């Protein structure tokens, strides 16, 4: 069979979203970021809002999110993305505005900004990647690091007496009157990916309905930081992260 007979529209089973650029991602093999980026790109493409979407990238591994999605991007100072998003959405209410933040950015240095943006009910989307570790700086303890988890700054495992407890920031966010949709998802298998995509789409739709802030935590892996193969990382996440950070909607109104 000639190759041209194979490459036909009717034979196409999968296509890369047109919102994704051709740039090769810098993320480690097995990292959840790439999958979440792909989902975001697909939602933006399917909703036809590429020209109306403004993304705000954090400090952390996903600082470079702007290299992968072909939309307008702002790159925030560490933890401050919700402040940038607040102003952007208020000054341009017809735009879809989302922040993309990791656990260090959102749940440690940026706690004030995320709590108050959510409490004001800013009509923005927050994508929160929780992999329980600082990836970009080399695997240090995150606010969401589990008790006993070994990181570069908890070499003997996280000890509550020394380091405090893992922070369930999403549960806190769900308490705030300003949030309309708070959910915790994951992307380790096709079923989970589909659920996360539905959640992200819903969040983007919410942001034009004046309902308040939509907040999506994606429990993720960092196999480099965790020093595990992609498969082992997924298994560790399911066995250790999910019991402490259970999946599902915390709030939907």
Partner 1 sequence: MAEKILMKGNEAIAYAAINCGCDGYFGYPITPQSEVMETLMLEKPWETTGMVVLQAESEISSINMVYGGACCGKKVMTSSSSPGISLMCEGLSYLAGCELPCLVVNVMRGGPGLGTIQPSQSDYFQATKGGGHGDYRTIVLAPATVQDMYDYVDLSFELAFKYRNPVMILGDGVVGQMMEKVELRPAKPRRTDEELRELCDSWATLGKPASRPGNIITSLALDADIMERHNIHLQNKYATIEANEARYETYMTKDADHLIVAFGCMSRICENVVELARQDGIKLGVLRPITLYPYPEKALDALVPQMKSIMSVELNSGQMVEDVRRIASGRAPVHFYGRQGGAVPSPEEIYEAFVKTIKK
Which residues sit at the interface with partner 1, rule CB under 8 A? 50-54, 56-57, 63, 66-67, 69-77, 80, 83-88, 90-92, 95, 112-113, 115-116
Shortest approach of partner 1 to residue 241 CB, angstroms?
29
Which is closer to partner 1, CB of 116 or CB of 211? Answer: 116
Nearer to partner 1, 123 or 188 (CB): 123
- Shortest distance in whole angstroms from residue 24 CB to partner 1: 16
With respect to partner 1, which residue has the nearer C-beta, 54 or 219? 54
Check: CB of residue 141 under 8 Å from CB of residue 134. Answer: yes
CB of 142 to partner 1, least distance (A): 21
What is the nearest approach in angstroms of partner 1 to the Cβ of residue 59?
9
Write down the least CB distance from residue 179 to partner 1, Å.
16
What span, in angstroms and rounded, lies between the C-alpha atoms of 45 and 18? 7
Of 66 and 100, which CB lies nearer to partner 1 in the complex structure?
A: 66
What the block records as the tokens of 250 is: 């915390």
User: What is the token pair recorded at 132?
Assistant: 């329980």
Least Å from the CB of residue 115 to partner 1: 8
Nearer to partner 1, 60 or 166 (CB): 60
Of the pair 55, 139, the CB lying nearest partner 1 is at 55
**Matching residue, tokens 């990791």:** 102
Please give the DSSP secondary-structure letter assigned to residue 76. -
Indicate the burial class of 212 (C-beta count within 10 angstroms; 0-12, 13-18, 19 or more). Answer: buried
Closest approach of partner 1 to the CB of residue 116, in Å: 4
Cβ proximity to partner 1: between 110 and 166 the closer is 110
**With contact defined as beta carbons under 8 Å apart, do 250 and 182 qualify?**
yes
Give the integer Cα–Cα distance in Å for 37 and 27: 11
Q: Across the strands, what pairs with 141?
A: 133
Tell me how far apart the alpha carbons of residues 163 and 141 are, in angstroms, rounded to a whole number.
Answer: 9
List of residues 6+ apart from 213 with CB closer than 8 A: 117, 118, 121, 122, 123, 124, 125, 126, 176, 178, 179, 180
């Amino acid at each position: 069979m000639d190759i041209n007979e194979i490459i036909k529209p009717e034979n196409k089973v999968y296509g890369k979203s047109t919102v994704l650029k051709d740039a090769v991602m810098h993320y480690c093999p097995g990292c959840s970021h790439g999958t979440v980026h792909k989902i975001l790109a697909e939602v933006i493409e399917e909703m036809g809002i590429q020209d109306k979407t403004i993304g705000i990238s954090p400090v952390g591994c996903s600082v470079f999110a702007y290299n992968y999605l072909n939309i307008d991007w702002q790159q925030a100072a560490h933890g401050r993305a919700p402040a940038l998003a607040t102003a952007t959405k208020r000054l341009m209410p017809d735009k879809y505005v989302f922040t993309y933040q990791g656990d260090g950015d959102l749940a440690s240095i940026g706690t004030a900004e995320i709590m108050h943006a959510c409490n004001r009910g800013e009509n923005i989307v927050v994508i929160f990647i929780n992999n329980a570790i600082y990836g970009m700086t080399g695997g240090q303890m995150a606010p969401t690091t589990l008790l006993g988890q070994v990181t570069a700054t908890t070499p003997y495992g996280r000890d509550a007496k020394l380091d405090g407890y893992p922070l369930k920031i999403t549960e806190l966010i769900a308490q705030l009157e300003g949030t309309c949709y708070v959910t915790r998802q994951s992307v380790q298998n096709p079923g989970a990916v589909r659920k996360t995509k539905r959640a992200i789409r819903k969040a983007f739709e919410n942001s034009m309905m004046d309902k308040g802030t939509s907040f999506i935590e994606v429990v993720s892996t960092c196999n480099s930081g965790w020093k595990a193969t992609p498969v082992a990382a997924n298994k560790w996440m399911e066995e250790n992260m999910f019991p402490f950070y259970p999946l599902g909607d915390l709030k939907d109104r």
